[in-house]
Each structure stands twice: as C-alpha cells, then as structure tokens.
C-alpha cells in the first residue's frame, strides 16, 4: 500500500501551484471569477438595470467588485468578458474604468519592519451565513493543489489561537453576536479578511430579511477578497497580502492574466 | 536527657491532655493548645534529629522485669513526630474557624493526636497497643460525627472500627511473635538483636497485614476511602486520618521490619506486588471518584502503595546485601511519607473548605462560590496538586523520582525473578504516576478551580477567616519548602535511618555535581541518576521570569479580559450546559471497563408505546463502576450482620455505644492485667 | 380556490400504508398540505397531513419558522441520570465548518442524544423570492446551497418550465444532467476526503481532494463556474463552447478520474484501520430511517430503495442506464459504500450522457414531465436527486408570471433527525464520521 502511494505520487508529479513565485495559470482562475472588463458606454444603463446586485453604477461608470456576483447577466447587455481571447481587443476600444472596492491597508502591523505574520499564520474561518461555496473554497486551500502549509499558513480551531479571522457569508441576525464574540476572543494583533460578495456587501442576499449589514460595519475588516465564490488562488492572495508576502500591486484581482 | 527534651515532652503531653479536657468547654482554646503541643513536638523532633542523635529510653514505670512502660526517643521516631506535628499544627490552625460540628470533635481530634504521640514515642509493645487502640476508638467517634444519613455514617464508622480492630489483632500477633524471640515487650526501640527463623516470617506477614490495614493498601483499601467518603467525616478529621493515621502504619511497619534481621526473598516480592497493585488501584479509582474527599482518600492509597514499593526495594536490597540501594530506598520511603502527609493534609483541608462553602461533597455538584471564600485556595491548591501529581521541583516529584530510581536499579538484584518483579513494579508505578495526574487535574479543576470561573449566581456566603488562609499558606510553604529544600529533608530522613542502616547515608547520596555546589544534588546510588530540586526550581523560575521580563520590558501593561470560548455560544447560565467531572473521567470508565467492570445502561422509556418510533419520552442513564474488593467486603458484611443480628439481640438488648465503650475499656484493661500477671 | 380539492387525493391511502414517509409540508392558501412518498409503491401523494404522521409534521413545521435565531431540532425527550450534561458544539467549529451547531447530551464520551441546532444562517430565500421574476429568483435559489447549486437550479427551472409550458431543447436538459452528475461526484468525493481526514488517513484524503479539485476544474472549464452557478436559465442553458471536441476532452478527463478513483477505492478498502472506524459506527436502522424520513444515500444505506432519478426521471434519465445503489448494513461504512458506488455509476452515466448528447438545438417533444403531473393554477413541483438526496421545490406563479409561492424542501433538513438518531449510544469520536457520512449541509437546510 505504501509502495503504491509513493509510486503514485512520483507518477503524478508536483501538482501544487507555483503561485506566489509565478503568476497563476489560467486553470487556477476560472472564467466565472473574472468580472466584465469592458462595455460600450451606451450600454451602461442597460447593464445597471440587469445587474441583480447593483454592482454596476451608471453615474460613476464603475463596477463595484465587492457587489458583483459574477452572474454574467450583463453579457446580455453587451458587457464583454474575456473568455475568448478574440474579445479582448474590443476592450481597448471601449475606455471603461473599473472601480474596485477600496481595500484598507493594515496600518503598522505588516509594514516591512514588523513582519510578525511572515513565518507562521493561523487562520480561523467563521461562517456567518454563506451558501457553503466559500467555505468549501477556503477548505480547498489545504488540498495538494494549493497546499497552505508550504507558506506557513495553518487552520486552527479556536479564536484564542488565531491570527486572522476569515469571514464568509452574508451576516445573519443570529450570527452577529457570535461574530463579535469570536473577534473579541482573538488575541492582538489580529486581522480580518472578508471573503466573497456576501461578506463584503451582502451580495445576492442583501435584501433578505435576516441580513444585517456588511462585515466591516460590525468588525474592522483589513482585506477583502471579492468573488462569488472567489477561487482558492484569490483567497490565497488575500492571505498573502495579510502576511505581507506580496505587495498590493502584485495582486491580481479576479483577472485572467492581469488587468 | 537534657532540659529541652524534658520540657518539650512535658509540654506535648500537658498541652494535648489539657486540650482534650477543655475541648468540651471551648473549641478555640482546645485548638490553640493543640497548636502549642504540636509546636513542642516540632521543637523536640528537630532537637533529636539535628542536635542529639543518641537514642534515649525513658522508662517511667517498670511493671515487671519483662514489661515496662517506656518512651523511646530516637532520631527515627523523631522524624515521624516531626511530620505529624507539622500536619497537626496546620490542621489545628484550620480548625479554629472550620469547626462548627457538635461539641466533642475538638476533644476527639486532640485525643487522636495524643494517641499518635503515644504510638510514636512508645518504647514497648504495650504502650504502642494502648496508643493504637485509643487512636482507633477516637477516630471511630470522629467519623460518627460526620454529616449525612445516620445509617450510612454508622455503617462507615463501624467498617472503620472493624478494620481497625482486625489491624490490632494482627499487630498483636506480630508482637506475640517478637515477644517469643526477645522475651520482653520493650523491643520497639532500636536494637541490635533480631528476630529470626520461621518466627520472623510470621511476624512479617502479621505486620504487613496489620499495618497494611491501617494504611489502606490493597486489598484492604476499603478501610481508607470508605469511612472518609461515605460518612463525609469532618474535613479536619479526614486530614488527620488520611495524612497521619496512615503514617502510623508506615511507622509501625518500618519499625517492626528493623527488628527482623536478615530478610527472606519472598518478603520483598510480596511487598513489591502489594505496593504496585495498591498504587495502580489507588490511582485508577482516584481518577474516577466523584467525591470531594473520596478522591484524595484514594490518592492516599496510591501514595501508601508507593511507600510500600520503596520498602519492598529496601527488603530485596537487604536480601542481596545491596546496602547502598537499600539505604536509598528506605530514605525514599521516608521522604515520600513526609511529602505525602503534608500535601495530602493540605488537599483535604482545601477540599473540605470548598465543600463546606458549596454545601456538597459531590465533585459534580458545581456551585459557584464568591471570590472572598476562595482566597488562598487557588494558589495553595495548585501547588499541593502539583506535588501530589509529581510535578518538579515539588516534594511529590522528588520522592517519586527517588522511588522510580530505586526501581530502575532492580537490575542490581542477583536473581532474574527479582529483576523481573522489580521491573514490572516499576512499570506499574510509572503508569500509576501518569494516571494520578488525571485525578489531580480533576480534583483541582472541578473541586477547587471551577467554583470561581463562572458568572453564575452565588448562593452560600461564609466568611473566610484569617486562620483558614493562614493554614493554606502554611501548607503551601511546607510543600514548596520540602521540595525545593529536598537535601535538607534528605538530611533529616537519612539521620533518622542511620541507626537502622548502621551507617551514615547522607554524604553518600547528597553531593555536588556538574558545577552545582555540594549538598544540592541527590544521587541515587553510584553511579546512577542525579537530581537537584533546588537548582531545577531556580532554573524553572528563571524560565518563567526571564522571558516575562524580556517581553514586558519597556512595554505597557495591557490586560484584556475576554470570556471563555464556548464555540461561539454565550456563556452557559446553567450547570447542565457545562462540562462536569463525571464526564471528564467517563472515557477512563469506558476504556478500562474490563478493570472497573463498568456497566452503562441507557434505558429508553416510552419508546415502544408510541404510535411512531420518533424518540422515547425519556432516557435514563445509569453508569456504575464496580470495585471487586468492595463486592467481596459487602458480602462479608452482609454475612456478619445477619449472623450477629440473630445472636446479638439475645445477648445484649441495650445501647450499642455503651457496649462498645465498655468493650474497649475492658480490652485495654485486660491487656494491662495480662501483663501484670504474666510478668 | 380551484387548486385544493383536486389535489387532495387518496387520503385513505396515506392513512393506511406503513411505508409512507412525509416528504414536504407547506402552507398554501391557508391550508397545510403535505407531500408524502410511498416508498414501497414508488409514488408521491399530495394530501393533508395524515394524523398518524402529525408528530413528524410538527418537527418539520417547526424547522420552517422564519427567524433570525437558531432553532433546536429537539424531539423533546428528557435525559436523566447522574453526571448527564449538555455539550455544545458550534456554531464556530472546525469540524462542521459551517454556521450550525449541536447539543450533545452525554455523560462524557457516550452520546445519549443529539440536538441539532439549525437556522443560524437562515436567509429566507423562499420569503424573499415572493414577487420576484423567476429569472431573478433563480440567482437566489442557486446560491442558497452552493454545493448543491446545479440540483437547486435545475429543480427550479424545471418547475418554472413546467408551469409556463416552455419548450426546452433536449440538449439543454442533457447538459443539466451532466452538471448534476458532476456535482454529485465532487460532493461525494468531498465526503470521502473528509472521512479519510477524520480517520487521519492523510494520503487518502489528499488524493480524494485532488480528484475533487480536478472535478471542480472540469466544472470551471466546461460550465464556467467551479460550483456550477449561473449555467441554468429558464428554457435553456448558458452554453459556451460545448462543442463535440470539447465533449470528447471531457469524456477523456472523466475517464482519467474514473481510473484514479478506482485505484483510490481499492487501496482505501484495504486499509483495516479505516474500515474499522466506519463499520458499526452510527447505525440507522431501516425502520427509523423510514419513519424519520431519511432521504438520499443515507436512506439507501438503510435499504430504502428510493432514487428520484429512477422514480421520477426528468428527461435524460429515462433514456440512459441508471441503477439504484443500496446497502443494508445501515452503518457509516454502508453510507460510504453507497457514495463510492454512486460516484462510479455517475461517471458511467456521464460517459453515456456526453456520448449520446444531441448536438443541435431541436426542441424536445417531451414536456418537463417526470411523472408528477400536478399542474394547475400555475402550481407545480419537482423532485430532483441532489447529492445528499431528494430535493423538492414547490412553486406557484401568479398571473403576471411573478412568483407567488415558493417552498424548498432541502434534503439536509429531513436528514438531521435520522442523523441524530443514528448517533445515540455512540462515542464522541464517532460524531465526525456520522456527520460527514450523512453529507449534511447547514446552508442546505437553512436556505
């Protein structure tokens, strides 16, 4: 049996992604985690109407990634996605600005001088009302394709041991106190990452009766990872940003080959 | 006999005797006199151990040529006197506030102490037996004063009396054997003459059973925990019973052994086997005990087992003429007796206080108590529990290390069987030392610490007084002191064994090593292991303090208080929602069910009567742990009871206590009378 | 009016038969209706609540409350005895990974009773959907349980198409089946990986995780989304480049995965440590499974042979070879075996589906008929076999085409009580095995 696994392992080779040393491959960033990147200006109003989560704002001509659930209904309104490389040239003609949700920097903690999380980083995931897709993507980080532990990141079971709180899901009424309590139980210094459109803005569930607010209204959020759900590599980017292992500019937000 | 000895001996007897009389009038005066008497005892013991090592026989009434009432004062019994008096001093201090029992407890307590003084100082068998009997009887009455159901208390007290009398019978047998060899009863002082031949074996077995009954070792461990646990005896009495009454067994056993000369091979084997089994049984049953005082009582069985193991190594070594190892084992036994008595008394007193405030002796019954009530119990409790669970550098660790080191050297025995028995006993002892950690965590966690960790509403409010706290800190000081200053205690213990071993052992076992100055390293045989509790203590303190200073230097003190983590839920406001001590040890009950004969029953009530099998109306859970020995004694008791029921009613249709006191008095009288006649 | 009388049929049947289990219960137009499944005769009965099942109905109804607070799924039985206490687990825990908890009533180690705590994250999808356009509601429905998204959206669009009488191309329906089977495979692989992880068979867990990630990447490659969001549309599917060549690639990928999975299973089943942890753990007796309404692989492991793909096949399933996988050992091992065999049969099905998929967009002559022909007053329902079991959605549209009523009966919701029942008398360490083997999801039950 042991022989089998060893041979099997040698035959399969290294599956683990080269990220962050190299850029992620196309396979690692699936099509549906890429937002529309271009559209003729005349289609903005139509796009705004079709968008179920108000991610497209007509007056500022911007796309709020924190709200986008990547449903692609705006493709009916002429918004362009780069599934086909041939489509890309269209974007060059249409000058559209993309406006991401402002990501707050964490002051002091991971400036170059005090990189206290660089070597060992313990994460605790808390679900405050997700559809389980984000949860699974966070769990997927520990599979051999992404292999968190090679970067010194570990899952932990208790907030008392956690450095970062990974929040997924649209904040539910029943989970507000739990979230606060969990955050309070964490030792200083601590970071919070909110993952997915639901956590950042409420996403598709923002008008349900049990939704309270986005996470940053309840506890201070340091890094956000947009997506519905974001792919594991995007979550990894968020974590590495917390650990100060990559610069903010190196981030490849939800894009295939960069924007 | 110098002036100090005279004064202190008179002081001890005068204080205790007057205290026992005054006890019926004023408790406080009685306990204060008890403290004074104990202090005299401590002074005397130190005087004997440090200054004057020549033994003194103090004959004060020569009855016949064979029989005298005489006191023997040597460094050997001074060592035991020291332990007892240290325990009594703390207990009396504690009792000043604790005792709210009916009148008489104070007197009985002091009388018990007085009887123990008589036992320790007795130079002849008659005084010893008189002390022994009166100790049993006073203890019996103290147990009767416990709070609880009258029939349960009575049962427990009579069980204690039954075991006590059985012990007396066996001790008399042993003394009889010795008398036949010596031709005199004045044999308890250290002498160079020895019993030999078949008589020696007889004396050995009778002494093992007789003193073993008092020490509560297997298979007589009912005698230790049952009276204490079942009757909820007063806690100060429990401390005296468990810490010093069992010590009398150790004292008597070692004392008799010193008169037996060349030991037989099988003595060592039996002693090791009984010691090992007691250690394991005590540790196991302590870890599943749900009684505030049953748990420490079981732990006493474990510790007495360890002492017996050390004595077993001593016996085997003396058979193989391994003087060095034998000396080390004997010193280990004495050291362990010291550390155990002090720690156990401390644990009983703390548990007793918490139970009194809680109003319950059930570990599972989690009643929060106010911060004021708990003062002193946290710190003192954790040090005591660490000592009993053998955490370095405390006293319990040093003595357990010594016993295990002695067992490690069983390869020195000249016989394969002895080597194997020694090794197996070592393994069992080490296993028990691991298991006792579970029991001690449980005692501290659920018995002492838990009661302060919740925001639940506080019910009972007592006022803790200085005397309670002082006694806690007094024992804390002793536990740390005898651990960290182990070489000092080692000096006392070895000076008390000098006469037995006929050589000075202190210099052999205590030296300096690897830069540690002389008199700070304990060596177990040459060349084997070494350990320096003092320097380990210094090192550990350094490990704690230095990082603390480094991390805190120049930074602001920042304390953030958060609640406990209940996996995201609010702090429970009902004890049903909290993990309890029963749940803590149920895994052991289930895993070791072959040993405990655990019976788990989950009865589903109303499951079949319903039209739909959704769920029963009620689950009834029953978990039982069976002690095979208890079963045996239960059958024995039942048989005896049914037998005596039919006979006793016809013979004596009156009050049973009157009869009992009469019988005891008659017994002592007959004992004395016989000696007059014979001599 | 008009709706109710014609649907309350065969109430006498519901009262008489023993093999009837309650599937869904909902209030519509002021009446409480129940969907009952006759396990033996393989049929669905729409009826008022039969009196002999009222107890189960109560618990089901209780779990339907719309709240922002948790609900204890308690059967109400008391537990008495020395040392009994309640051990809370969740809502923040590493084992469950979702916002949901349990109360384990225990005397330490041995579990006497389990009370699942649900609705920590009930989002009220059904309530929110009222008054929405079906295509808007679809986004909501497919995101209510992320890992069962394909089943949810297929169930929803099929019901809507049924009501509207829309013509759908066969190709779209076949693609939906492909998505559902892919979903089943990765969910079962997830269960398999978690079980291996719980038994600390780390190599097996890593291998299963690799396979799962490969399936997720197939999802992303061919359906655009790793969790199959957004591929279903009402009346069609979102198709990009599902050409014949790519289908062949997909078949190859699946064959590779099949081969690797059979290797994994062979070596997994030869690990005695693993089998020892699974066998005899958390038994769910057949009768309990029936009465408590267990569905899906967990029910099939207790010898209940009910699979919506066969009982109520939507279009491609009546055209291809499907088999019900059952076991009768009733323990965690059976549940795992059912899942393993379902992965294998799903892979076979996928090969068939992709091989014989119609390549043009000709409309299907069949309606979205799966034998459930209750279609009146814009009211219809559909049953789809999701990875964790039978998923039921009941939809009513108003005259303008907006949603008037939506009821989702997720498989996890009805599996909580069988799960709780199966754990009685087991020890703490069995808990995680039972939880994973039932494939329960809080997102699913708290839709």
Query: Rounded to whole angstroms, what are the CA distances from B447 to A40, B292, B296, B302, B353?
Result: 74, 7, 11, 19, 11
Beta carbons within 10 angstroms of residue B477's beta carbon: 13
C358 touches A: beta carbon within 8 Å: no
pLDDT classification of A102: cutoffs 50, 70, 90 = very low
Residues with Cβ within 8 Å of residue B651, at least 6 apart in sequence? none
pLDDT classification of A98: cutoffs 50, 70, 90 = very low
pLDDT at A256: 35
Strand C403-409 versus strand C389-397 pairing type: antiparallel
* Chain A residue with Cα closest to C221: A30
| Residue C32, strand partner residues | C27
**Gap between the Cα atoms of C343 and B415, Å rounded:** 65
Distance from CA of C88 to the nearest CA of B (A): 7
Q: Which pair of tokens denotes residue B430?
A: 């080490």
Task: Using the predicted structure, report yes or no on whether residue B66 has a pLDDT greater than 70.
Answer: no
pLDDT classification of C66: cutoffs 50, 70, 90 = low
pLDDT classification of A75: cutoffs 50, 70, 90 = confident
Nearest to C267 among A1, A174, A178 (CB): A1
Q: Which pair of tokens denotes residue C426?
A: 């087991």
pLDDT at B190: 58
Q: What single DSSP character describes residue B444?
A: I
Burial (CB count within 10 angstroms: exposed 0-12, middle 13-18, buried 19+), residue B678: exposed
Please say whether the dihedral angle defined by the alpha carbons of residues A28, A33, A37 and A43, taken in this order, is positive or negative: positive
Task: Using the predicted structure, report yes or no on whether residue C378 has a pLDDT greater than 70.
Answer: yes
* Chain A residue with Cα closest to B558: A188
List all chains that touch chain A, counting a touch as 3 or more CB pairs closer than 8 Å. Answer: B, C
pLDDT at B679: 54
Report pLDDT digits (tens) over C100-126. 888 888 888 888 888 888 888 888 888
Residue C426 contacts residue C102 (beta carbons within 8 Å): no
Residue ranges of alpha helices (H) inside A13-163 are: 44-50, 88-93, 133-140
Which helix (H) or strand (E) is B661 found in, with range? helix B656-678
Distance from CA of C320 to the nearest CA of A (A): 30
Residue C70 contacts residue C442 (beta carbons within 8 Å): no
More confident residue, B196 or C438: C438
Interchain contact, A181 vs B560, CB within 8 Å: no
pLDDT classification of B428: cutoffs 50, 70, 90 = very high
pLDDT classification of B616: cutoffs 50, 70, 90 = low
- Give the mean pLDDT of A71-89: 64
Interchain contact, B568 vs C77, CB within 8 Å: no
- Give the mean pLDDT of C177-198: 89
- Give the mean pLDDT of C124-138: 85
Interchain contact, B614 vs C291, CB within 8 Å: yes
pLDDT at C8: 45
* Chain C residue with Cα closest to B607: C77
Optimal mutation site among A185, A188, A189, A190, interface B, most CBs of chain B within 10 A? A185
CATH code for the domain defined by C125-445 = 1.10.645.10
Task: Using the predicted structure, report yes or no on whether residue B643 has a pLDDT greater than 70.
Answer: yes
Portion 123-152 of A in contact with C at CB < 8 A: 124-137, 139-140, 142-145
Interchain contact, B568 vs C109, CB within 8 Å: no
pLDDT at B307: 92
Lowest mean pLDDT among A173-177, B34-38, B96-100, B288-292: B96-100
Lowest mean pLDDT among B253-267, B454-468, B651-665: B454-468
- Of all residues in chain B, the percent with pLDDT exceeding 90 is 5
B565 touches A: beta carbon within 8 Å: yes
Task: For chain B, give the mean pLDDT.
Answer: 80
HSE-up of residue B19 (Cα within 13 Å, Cβ side):
29
**Gap between the Cα atoms of B356 and A2, Å rounded:** 60
- Give the mean pLDDT of C353-382: 67
How many Cβ pairs closer than 8 A exist between chain A and C? 179
Q: Taking CB atoms and an 8 Å cutoff, what residues of chain B touch A185?
A: 562-563, 565
| Residue B58, strand partner residues | B71
Q: Taking CB atoms and an 8 Å cutoff, what residues of chain C touch B568?
A: 90-93, 101
Q: What single DSSP character describes residue A85?
A: G
pLDDT classification of B231: cutoffs 50, 70, 90 = low
Optimal mutation site among C83, C287, C417, C421, interface B, most CBs of chain B within 10 A? C83
- Give the mean pLDDT of C342-368: 77
Q: Which pair of tokens denotes residue B169?
A: 């019978």
- Give the mean pLDDT of C176-188: 90
Query: Rounded to whole angstroms, what are the CA distances from B674 to B679, C278, C406?
Result: 8, 74, 101
**Gap between the Cα atoms of C156 and C152, Å rounded:** 6
**Gap between the Cα atoms of A74 and A77, Å rounded:** 5
Which helix (H) or strand (E) is B586 found in, with range? helix B581-591
Query: Rounded to whole angstroms, what are the CA distances from A23 to A234, A251, B12?
Result: 12, 10, 88
Angle, alpha carbons B613-B618-B620 (nearest 5°): 125
Q: How far apart are the two ends of chain C, measured CA to CA in Å?
A: 29
**Gap between the Cα atoms of B359 and B111, Å rounded:** 28
- Give the mean pLDDT of A116-129: 84
Q: How far apart are the two ends of chain A, measured CA to CA in Å?
A: 47
Task: Using the predicted structure, report yes or no on whether residue B294 has a pLDDT greater than 50.
Answer: yes
Task: For chain C, give the mean pLDDT.
Answer: 80
More confident residue, C357 or C343: C343
Residue B213 contacts residue B227 (beta carbons within 8 Å): no
pLDDT at C3: 36
A172 touches C: beta carbon within 8 Å: yes
Residues with Cβ within 8 Å of residue C385, at least 6 apart in sequence? C151, C180, C296, C307, C308, C309, C391
- Give chain A's contact residues with B (Cβ, < 8 Å): 126, 158-160, 177-178, 181-182, 184-185, 188
Boundaries of CATH 1.10.645.10 in chain C? Answer: 125-445
Lowest mean pLDDT among A13-17, B662-666, C17-21, C395-399: C17-21
pLDDT classification of A112: cutoffs 50, 70, 90 = very low
Task: Using the predicted structure, report yes or no on whether residue B12 has a pLDDT greater than 60.
Answer: yes
| Neighbour order of strands in the sheet with A191-195 | A153-155, A121-127, A164-168, A191-195, A223-225
Which helix (H) or strand (E) is B619 found in, with range? strand B618-624
Nearest to A30 among C66, C226, C443 (CB): C226
Portion 143-162 of C in contact with A at CB < 8 A: 143-147, 149
Distance from CA of A207 to the nearest CA of B (A): 26
Report pLDDT digits (tens) over B360-412. 788 887 777 777 777 778 888 889 999 998 888 888 888 888 888 888 888 88
pLDDT classification of B611: cutoffs 50, 70, 90 = very low
Phi and psi (nearest 5°) for C391?
A: -105, 130
Of the candidates A188, A207, A205, the residue with the CA atom closest to the CA atom of residue A197: A205
pLDDT at A91: 47
List all chains that touch chain C, counting a touch as 3 or more CB pairs closer than 8 Å. Answer: A, B
Task: For chain A, give the mean pLDDT.
Answer: 74
**Gap between the Cα atoms of A36 and A53, Å rounded:** 14
More confident residue, A117 or C422: C422
Q: Which pair of tokens denotes residue B546?
A: 């230095």
More confident residue, B321 or C31: B321
Q: Which pair of tokens denotes residue C78?
A: 């008391």
pLDDT classification of A99: cutoffs 50, 70, 90 = very low
- Give the mean pLDDT of A145-159: 88
- Give the mean pLDDT of A92-112: 39
| Residue A127, strand partner residues | A168
pLDDT classification of B429: cutoffs 50, 70, 90 = very high
pLDDT at B309: 92
Report pLDDT digits (tens) over B578-608. 888 888 888 888 888 887 777 777 777 765 5
pLDDT classification of B448: cutoffs 50, 70, 90 = confident
């Amino acid at each position: 049996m042991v022989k089998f696994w060893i041979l099997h392992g040698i035959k399969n080779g290294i599956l683990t992604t080269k990220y962050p040393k190299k850029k992620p491959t196309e396979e690692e960033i699936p099509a549906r985690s890429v937002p529309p990147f271009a559209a003729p200006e005349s289609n903005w109003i139509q796009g705004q109407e079709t968008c179920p989560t108000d991610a497209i704002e007509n007056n500022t001509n911007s796309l709020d990634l924190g709200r986008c659930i990547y449903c692609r209904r705006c493709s009916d309104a002429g918004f362009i996605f780069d599934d086909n490389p041939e489509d890309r040239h269209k974007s060059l003609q249409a000058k559209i600005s993309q406006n991401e949700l402002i990501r707050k920097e964490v002051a002091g903690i991971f400036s170059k001088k005090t990189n206290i999380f660089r070597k060992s980083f313990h994460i605790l995931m808390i679900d405050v009302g997700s559809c389980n897709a984000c949860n699974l993507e966070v769990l997927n980080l520990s599979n051999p394709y992404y292999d968190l532990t090679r970067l010194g990141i570990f899952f932990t079971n208790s907030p008392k041991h956690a450095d970062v709180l990974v929040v997924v899901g649209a904040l539910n009424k029943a989970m507000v106190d739990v979230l606060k309590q969990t955050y309070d139980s964490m030792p200083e210094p601590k970071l919070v990452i909110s993952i997915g459109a639901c956590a950042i803005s409420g996403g598709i569930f923002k008008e349900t009766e049990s939704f309270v607010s986005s996470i940053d209204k309840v506890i201070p959020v340091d890094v956000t990872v947009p997506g519905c759900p974001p792919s594991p590599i995007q979550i990894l980017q968020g974590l590495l940003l917390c650990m100060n292992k990559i610069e903010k500019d190196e981030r490849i937000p939800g894009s295939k080959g960069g924007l | 006999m110098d002036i100090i000895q005279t004064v202190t001996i008179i002081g001890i007897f005068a204080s205790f005797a007057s205290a026992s009389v005054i006890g019926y009038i004023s408790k406080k005066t009685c306990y204060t006199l008890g403290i004074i008497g104990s202090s005299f005892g401590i002074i005397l013991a130190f005087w004997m151990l440090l200054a004057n090592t020549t033994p003194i026989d103090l004959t004060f009434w020569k009855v016949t040529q064979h029989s005298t009432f005489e006191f023997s004062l040597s460094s050997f019994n001074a060592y035991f006197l020291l332990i007892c008096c240290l325990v009594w001093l703390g207990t009396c201090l504690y009792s000043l506030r604790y005792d709210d029992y009916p009148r008489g407890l104070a007197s009985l307590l002091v009388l018990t102490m007085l009887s123990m003084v008589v036992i320790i100082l007795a130079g002849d068998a008659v005084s010893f037996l008189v002390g022994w009997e009166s100790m049993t009887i006073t203890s019996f009455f103290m147990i009767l004063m416990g709070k609880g159901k009258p029939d349960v208390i009575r049962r427990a007290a009579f069980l204690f009396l039954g075991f006590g009398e059985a012990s007396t019978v066996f001790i008399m047998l042993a003394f009889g054997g010795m008398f036949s060899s010596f031709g005199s009863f004045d044999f308890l002082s250290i002498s160079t003459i020895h019993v030999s031949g078949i008589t020696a074996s007889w004396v050995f077995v009778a002494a093992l059973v007789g003193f073993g009954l008092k020490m509560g070792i297997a298979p007589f461990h009912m005698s230790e925990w049952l009276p204490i646990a079942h009757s909820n005896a007063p806690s100060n009495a429990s401390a005296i019973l468990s810490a010093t009454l069992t010590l009398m067994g150790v004292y008597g056993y070692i004392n008799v052994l010193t008169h037996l000369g060349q030991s037989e091979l099988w003595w060592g084997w039996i002693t090791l086997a009984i010691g090992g089994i007691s250690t394991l049984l005590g540790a196991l049953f302590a870890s599943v005990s749900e009684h505030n005082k049953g748990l420490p009582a079981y732990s006493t069985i474990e510790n007495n087992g360890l002492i017996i193991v050390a004595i077993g190594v001593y016996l085997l070594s003396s058979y193989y003429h391994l003087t060095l190892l034998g000396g080390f084992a004997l010193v280990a036994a004495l050291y362990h007796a010291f550390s155990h008595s002090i720690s156990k008394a401390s644990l009983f007193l703390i548990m007793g206080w918490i139970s009194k405030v809680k109003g319950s002796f059930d570990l599972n019954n989690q009643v929060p108590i106010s911060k004021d009530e708990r003062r002193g119990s946290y710190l003192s409790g954790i040090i005591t529990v660490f000592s009993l669970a053998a955490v370095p550098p405390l006293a319990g660790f040093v003595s357990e290390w010594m016993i295990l080191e002695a067992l490690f050297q069983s390869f020195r025995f000249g016989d394969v069987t002895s080597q194997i028995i020694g090794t197996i006993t070592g393994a069992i002892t080490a296993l028990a030392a691991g298991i006792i950690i579970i029991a001690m965590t449980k005692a501290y966690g659920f018995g002492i610490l838990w009661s302060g960790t919740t925001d639940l509403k506080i019910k009972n409010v007592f006022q803790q007084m200085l005397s309670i706290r002082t006694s806690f800190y007094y024992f804390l000081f002793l536990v740390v002191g005898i651990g960290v200053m182990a070489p000092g205690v080692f000096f006392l213990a070895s000076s008390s064994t000098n006469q037995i071993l006929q050589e000075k052992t202190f210099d052999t076992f205590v030296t300096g090593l690897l830069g540690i100055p002389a008199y700070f390293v304990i060596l177990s045989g040459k060349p084997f292991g070494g350990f320096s509790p003092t320097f380990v203590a210094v090192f550990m303190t350094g490990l704690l303090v230095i990082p603390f200073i480094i991390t805190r230097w120049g930074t602001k003190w920042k304390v953030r208080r958060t609640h406990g983590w209940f996996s995201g839920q609010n702090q429970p406001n009902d004890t049903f929602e909290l993990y309890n001590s029963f749940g803590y040890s149920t895994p052991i009950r289930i895993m070791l069910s072959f040993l405990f004969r655990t019976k788990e029953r989950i009865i589903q009530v109303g499951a079949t009567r319903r039209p739909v099998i959704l769920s029963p109306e009620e689950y009834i859970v029953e978990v039982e742990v069976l002690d095979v020995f208890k079963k045996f004694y239960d059958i024995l008791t039942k048989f005896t009871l049914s037998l005596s029921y039919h006979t006793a009613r016809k013979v004596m249709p009156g009050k049973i206590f009157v009869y009992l006191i009469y019988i005891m008095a008659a017994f002592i009288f007959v004992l004395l009378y016989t000696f007059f006649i014979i001599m | 009016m008009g709706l109710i009388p014609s649907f309350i049929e065969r109430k006498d049947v519901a009262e008489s038969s023993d093999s009837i289990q309650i599937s869904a219960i909902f209030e519509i137009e002021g009446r409480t209706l129940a969907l009952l499944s006759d396990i033996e005769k393989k049929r669905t009965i729409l009826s008022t609540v039969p009196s002999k099942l009222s107890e189960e109905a109560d618990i089901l109804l209780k779990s339907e409350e719309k709240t922002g607070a948790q609900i204890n799924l308690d059967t109400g039985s008391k537990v008495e005895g020395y040392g009994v206490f309640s051990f809370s687990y969740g809502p923040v825990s590493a084992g469950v990974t979702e916002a949901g908890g349990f109360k384990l009533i225990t005397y330490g180690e041995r579990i006497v009773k389990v009370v699942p705590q649900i609705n920590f994250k009930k989002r009220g999808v059904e309530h929110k959907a009222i008054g929405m356009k079906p295509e808007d509601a679809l986004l909501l429905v497919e995101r209510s349980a992320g890992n069962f998204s394909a089943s949810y959206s297929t169930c929803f669009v099929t019901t809507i198409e049924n009501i509207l009488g829309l013509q759908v191309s066969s190709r779209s329906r076949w693609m939906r089946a492909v998505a559902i089977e892919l979903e089943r495979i990765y969910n079962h692989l997830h269960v398999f990986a978690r079980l291996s992880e719980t038994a600390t068979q780390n190599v097996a867990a890593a291998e299963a995780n690799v396979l799962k990630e490969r399936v997720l990447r197939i999802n992303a490659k061919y359906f655009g989304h790793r969790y199959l969001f957004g591929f279903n549309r009402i009346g069609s599917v979102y198709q990009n480049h599902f050409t014949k060549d790519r289908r062949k690639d997909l078949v190859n990928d699946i064959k590779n995965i099949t081969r690797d999975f059979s290797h994994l299973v062979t070596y997994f089943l030869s690990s005695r440590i693993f089998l020892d942890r699974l066998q005899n753990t958390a038994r769910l007796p057949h009768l309990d499974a029936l009465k408590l309404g267990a569905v899906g692989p967990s029910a099939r492991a207790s010898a209940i042979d009910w699979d919506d793909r066969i009982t109520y096949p939507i279009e491609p399933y009546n055209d291809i070879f499907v088999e019900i996988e059952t076991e009768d050992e009733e323990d965690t091992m059976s549940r795992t075996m059912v899942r393993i065999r379902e992965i294998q049969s799903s892979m076979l099905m996928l090969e068939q589906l992709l091989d014989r998929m119609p390549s043009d967009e000709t409309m299907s002559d069949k309606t979205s008929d799966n034998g459930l022909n209750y279609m009146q007053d814009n009211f219809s329902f559909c049953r789809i076999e999701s990875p964790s079991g039978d998923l039921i959605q009941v939809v009513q549209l108003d005259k303008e085409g907006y949603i008037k009523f939506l009821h989702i009966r997720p498989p996890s919701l009805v599996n909580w009580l069988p799960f709780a029942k199966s754990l009685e008398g087991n020890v703490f360490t069995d808990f995680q095995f039972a939880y994973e083997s039932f494939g329960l999801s809080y997102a699913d039950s708290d839709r």
